[in-house]
Chains A and B, each alone.
Chain A
Amino acid sequence: MKKMITTDNLTELWARLAEESTLYLPVQDGPMVLFQPWQEGVQVDLEAFNSAVSPKDIFLPREETYLNYRCSGQALELDAVEDDRAITAFGIHPCDLKAIEMLDRVFIEQDPPDNLYQKRRENTTVVALSCTNPDPFCFCGVFDVNPLDAPGADVMAHLVDGSLHLEARTEKGKALLEKAGDLLEDSTVDIAKREVKTADFGLNVKGLPEDLKSRFEDPVWDELYKSCLSCGVCTYVCPTCYCFDVEDYGHEAKGERFRCWDSCMFGHFTQMAGGHNPRPSRKERVRQRFMHKLQYYHEAYGEIACVGCGRCLRSCPVNLDIVQAIKALGGEKVEQR
């Protein structure tokens, strides 16, 4: 069913959705737009490109406690933490939804699956939003993402002429539109007529993953890392990075075990007990990150782990982004490998 809602009615829609679920959407926070839970009075920006940090933290929070422990003498009590919230993820762009589907393979399509992630994902209704006006950092087309359509969405939304056009694609999506009920009108706009352009930097990544298989010792790696500052910006804004660390918070008698984001760009990421570090310098770390994106993930799941969201192009303080890496590795249309 194809429906539309005028932007004047959106606040009412969000208020309704937020009654029954935690509603995440792109919210203006100080100078930038981030995915945050809706509350009355927040400034939602559906036209923003792209949220400064990817919405992956809806499913893989920066930090989450998964176990509470209590110790008394020899007795140990463990309580697993459950997250049963219903969630609505509103305004997810096609690139970010594709990235979340890449995380699904890592966290759900495993034995055993990661039940915290899985539950959150199952309890979520995704309202994907096509791209009206991508910014100069967007290059999703290189990775076959269609900025006008997100195949995995429960509801596909399009912002056209001051109205939001909604199409339910799944049962969850239909249920969401039913809640919106009287706020909706029938939509007659032909979405197919729209056209959106994104950058491609002359990239051609076909064959690159296979090619990289034998290029672990390639001299490219001796140069590419030089400007890297060893900060974690690229990994933390990236929608397909998913590494985390586990730590305890508390003391012997009582506390919690939590996991939180970690970054392969940090020196201590691979620091082992006893002091050995298999990735001792920036070179090994930069190689790891780009090989993971362009080769290891592809080898495991058949796709390059980049969706062209452009966040590393925008945020890397020294512009050592994935486009530079792909170019250095020969992934260009003109160049012959």
Chain B
Amino acid sequence: MAERNLEQLEKIREVVSQDLLSGRIELLLGWEKGHYWWQSRPLFARSKDDLAKLTWDSFCAVNLSRYLLEELKDHQKVGVLVKGCDSRAFNRLLQDNMVERDRVVLYGLPCPGILDYKLLAAEAGPELKGIAEENGKIVLKTASGEVEVKRDQFLMAKCRECLYPDPVVYDQMLLEPQGKKEAPERFKAVDELETLTPEERFAYWEKELSRCLRCYACRQACPYCSCRECFVEQENPRWQGRAYQPSENFLFHLVRAYHGAGRCIDCGECQRACPVDIPLQELNRKLIKDINELYGDYEAGLDAELEPPLLTYRPDDPAAFSEK
């Protein structure tokens, strides 16, 4: 079992069930437990009975904001539980005019970072029965006893360099905020890739992308990929071929990454969704780093009023491609 913070959960449930019963919201997007203690999956709650299944634990990885794209078609008013990254995803959708702010109630949940079962199991072995958490420590429970480890080492890759664990946009903050975090190694992998020659970099990405199944999970999980029709599916002209050739894999991932330039909120859902663990966040972070260097620091999704650098024009914008 994964220990849930019952006190926190009760507080969350109390607020959202009141709003659901009073009609302030018609639907709540939250999480419920999956088959395993290390999986929490999306919950679509419309009643008090539904809310009995609600959970809030260290495995609520799925970004719920993206479901607004569909659920606002069927509901006038939708409530969403948002972690820091989910709230920035909401701002992303807002900036893209994909959601209406006044039809959504955001409940803020400061996030301690999502745990990665693969890392836990690698540490404890397959006999891992569950965990308990306390003050930044995790107790791994196995058949042969309990081991205490530091929580930080078992975060999902997407959470390890998180700057904003607190929601940046919300109607109601449900738990105590924890403040901005440091992410000193956010661009470490990018820096390392930049030291390679172009040929070496090409070989690196050719190998990583060779596993790509083109299942498009990265795109479907992504809050910046909200286009009603993606270039991948366009028939005329046909940009994206179906072949599993390196050139086609590069085309998809690079066009997607460039489309996210200045818009990617660095939530890492793409990489989490990838069934073959392609380090997609490295691609996105390269673009984030370049944008920051060219146009000044910009964090996508932090403030919906701040236009993304590539959607604005200033006469003094650098023109790196035309400068010799």
Contacts and interface: CB of A to CB of B under 8 A. Distances in A.
Given A136-B36, A320-B41, A62 B273 contact: no
A222 B224 CA distance: 27
Contact of A237 (B41, B126, B220, B275): B275
Contacts of A63: 242-245
B163 interface: no
Interface string B32-75: 00111001011010000000000000000010001100100000
A63 B243 CA distance: 7
Contacts of B306: none
Contacts of B245: 63
A236 B275 contact: yes
Contacts of B14: none
Nearest to A234: B215
Nearest to A244: B242
Nearest to B44: A226
A232 B44 contact: no
Looking at A63, A135, A323, which has the most chain B CB atoms within 10 Å of its CB?
A63
A156 to B, nearest CB: 24
B126 A135 contact: yes
B187 interface: no
Nearest to B216: A231
A319 B42 CA distance: 8
Looking at B126, B233, B242, which has the most chain A CB atoms within 10 Å of its CB?
B242
Contacts of B34: 319, 324
Contacts of A320: 41
A233 interface: yes
A230 B220 contact: yes
Given A260-B242, A319-B34, A324-B35, A233 B41 contact: no
Interface residues of B, number: 35
A247 B216 CA distance: 19
A229 interface: yes
Which secondary structure characterizes the binding site on chain B? loop
Contact of B39 (A29, A62, A282, A319): A319
B62 A318 contact: yes
B44 A227 contact: yes
Contacts of B254: none
A43 interface: no
A34 B35 CA distance: 25
Interface string A233-274: 101110000000101010000000010111100111000000
Given A52-B276, A227-B42, A232 B126 contact: no
B213 A317 contact: no
B221 interface: yes
A136 B44 contact: no
Nearest to B34: A319
A317 B42 CA distance: 10
Contact of B215 (A32, A231, A260): A231
A201 interface: yes
Nearest to B219: A231
Given A30-B211, A229-B220, A229-B273, A249 B241 contact: yes
B99 interface: no
A171 to B, nearest CB: 35
Nearest to B33: A319
B241 to A, nearest CB: 7
A31 interface: yes
Contacts of B66: 229
Contacts of B216: 231-232, 266
B187 to A, nearest CB: 21
B44 A223 contact: yes
B83 interface: no
Given A136-B126, A249-B243, A260-B243, A231 B44 contact: no
Nearest to A320: B41
A53 interface: yes
B231 to A, nearest CB: 13
Given A53-B275, A53-B276, A317 B217 contact: yes
Contacts of B272: 317
B273 A319 contact: no
B208 interface: yes
Given A249-B241, A313-B35, A319-B39, A231 B277 contact: no
Interface of B: 34-36, 39, 41-42, 44, 62, 66-67, 70, 126, 207-208, 211, 213-217, 219-221, 233, 241-245, 269, 272-273, 275-277
22 contacts: A30-B208, A34-B211, A53-B213, A135-B126, A227-B62, A227-B67, A229-B66, A229-B217, A229-B221, A231-B216, A232-B216, A233-B217, A233-B273, A245-B242, A247-B241, A268-B233, A317-B62, A317-B220, A318-B62, A319-B34, A319-B41, A324-B35
